[in-house]
Amino acid sequence: MHLNPYGEDAVNLAADLVNRRPADATELAERCRAAGLVLETPVTPADLERTLTVLDDWETIVDAATEHERAARLNRMLADAAAHPRLTDHAGGWHLHYRDAGQSLGTVLTSLIAVGTALHLAGRGMHRLRRCAVAECDLVIADTSRTGRQRYCSTRCANRDAVRRHRRRQAA
């Protein structure tokens, strides 16, 4: 996985992992590989544990009440992940890594999610992380839409809300 200028793949991976938390290290490895991550070391239960902690922190960034709170929380995550950016061609083609070489997946994910989320928010807008607008659905959306006004996690939730609003109008 390469961090594109808006961190889209990384922030989508974070949302995907938060919305459906991996049950074990094998599942975590498979889903990271499917998302295009090159795994350099064997994935262990410690990686899963670290990842789940990072996802808990990331949820507090999603649920932050203000932009400044969101930035402060993300800055703390960036500080934990801090390493020199470096050029690498390990997967063919030169690109930047924001982490040290040879690290375990838990550490790699911390950097990737922190930097990817920062690129996403700075590049596309600080408001572009939220929960689905359907009250009983708490899935997280990393809004990469053109307008930046994506309200639902899925067409299913959009339809559910439309039906509900329609009924409410009829009842009124």
Q: Which residues in this chain contact Zn ion in the complex, by CB under 5 A? A: 91, 132, 134, 137, 139, 153, 157
- The phi, psi pair for 114, rounded to 5°, reads -65, -50
User: With respect to Zn ion, which residue has the nearer C-beta, 15 or 118?
Assistant: 15
Q: How far is the CB of 149 from Zn ion (least distance, A)?
A: 15
d(C-alpha 132, C-alpha 141), whole Å: 7
Mention every residue, 6+ apart, whose C-beta is less than 8 A from residue 144: 6, 8, 11, 12, 120, 124, 128
How far from 22 is each of 9, 43, 110, CA to CA, in Å? 18, 13, 15
User: With respect to Zn ion, which residue has the nearer C-beta, 72 or 96?
Assistant: 96
Q: How far is the CB of 47 from Zn ion (least distance, A)?
A: 17
User: With respect to Zn ion, which residue has the nearer C-beta, 94 or 170?
Assistant: 94
User: With respect to Zn ion, which residue has the nearer C-beta, 122 or 139?
Assistant: 139
d(C-alpha 48, C-alpha 94), whole Å: 29
Question: Which of these, 45, 33, 35, 58, lies nearest to 115 by C-alpha position?
Answer: 58
Q: How far is the CB of 77 from Zn ion (least distance, A)?
A: 20
Q: How far is the CB of 71 from Zn ion (least distance, A)?
A: 26
